Chains A and B, each alone.
Chain A
Amino acid sequence: QSVLTQPPSVSGAPGQRVTISCTGSSSNIGAGYDVHWYQQLPGTAPKLLIYGNSNRPSGVPDRFSGSKSGTSASLAITGLQAEDEADYYCQSYDSSLSYVFGTGTKVTVL
């Protein structure tokens, strides 16, 4: 049911920068709805990482940043660390009257 498309996986060496895209449409991201990002470590609940397209909750390292343009959004992780290995999900609202999540991206630290 996911209407937000993410790459299944991305990888990078420690210290590198990786980006995760989140592609939507004119009924969700393109309609101006905010995009949020969540990190899900193995076996745990999702944790809010970025809200309102580019804002970090307190306690989230500034290595994580978000942006939005048109019908897409992106999450960037700079200075990749082993502890960043997790699944990442984008989320927005769709004019079909539903909150929607992305397909999810697994980040692997090489």
Chain B
Amino acid sequence: QLQLQESGPGLVKPSETLSLTCTVSGGSISSSSYYWGWIRQPPGKGLEWIGSIYYSGSTYYNPSLKSRVTISVDTSKNQFSLKLSSVTAADTAVYYCARRSAPKDDAFDIWGQGTMVTVSS
């Protein structure tokens, strides 16, 4: 059974770079049918797609965040990562990694449990 697990610092200072990693277990990140993405949820608010990556390295970013976001993949470790630069308090959120499934019409069918990241000095 495929599982995703986020990891990374829970506290980041303003203007610094937020870095998170998602480890995929129970399956290969190199499957041709899936993209891997990041989605965030500020406290008490809705969901926002950040971006997605294919195992080949092709990336797709939310235009509103594109200038600050980098998503990368390490197929040897079955991991993909998120970097968000120049963070502010508005970037405080629960960050989820998720699988986007072509067989399920590109829905996000498997999610990690999420990790809370607070931006504060």
Residues of A within 8 A of B (CB): 1-2, 34, 36, 38, 44-48, 51-52, 55, 57, 89, 91, 93, 96-104
B 56-76 to A, binary, CB cutoff 8 A, 1 in contact else 0: 000010111000000000000
Q: Is the CB of A46 within 8 A of B47?
A: yes
Point out the residue from A52, A96, A97, A103 that lies within 8 Å of B107, measured CB to CB.
A52
Say if the beta carbon of B46 comes within 8 Å of chain A: yes
Point out the residue from B63, B107, B113, B114 that lies within 8 Å of A91, measured CB to CB.
B107
* Known contacts A45-B113, A55-B105, A57-B109, A98 near B62 by CB under 8 Å: yes
* Known contacts A51-B104, A102-B46, A97 near B63 by CB under 8 Å: yes
Question: Chain A residues with Cβ under 8 A from B37's Cβ?
Answer: 99
Question: Chain A residues with Cβ under 8 A from B101's Cβ?
Answer: 51
Say if the beta carbon of B48 comes within 8 Å of chain A: yes
CB distance from B64 to the nearest CB of A (A): 6
Say if the beta carbon of B111 comes within 8 Å of chain A: yes
Point out the residue from B49, B64, B104 that lies within 8 Å of A48, measured CB to CB.
B104
Q: Is the CB of B48 within 8 A of A51?
A: no
CB distance from A25 to the nearest CB of B (A): 16
Supplied contacts A1-B64, A36-B107, A57-B109, 4 more A-B pairs, CB within 8 Å: A1-B48, A57-B104, A89-B46, A97-B63
Point out the residue from A44, A48, A103 that lies within 8 Å of B108, measured CB to CB.
A48
A36 to B47, CA, bound (A): 13
Question: Chain A residues with Cβ under 8 A from B112's Cβ?
Answer: 45
A52 to B107, CA, bound (A): 8
Say if the beta carbon of B106 comes within 8 Å of chain A: yes
CB distance from B1 to the nearest CB of A (A): 12
Point out the residue from A44, A45, A98, A102 that lies within 8 Å of B63, measured CB to CB.
A98
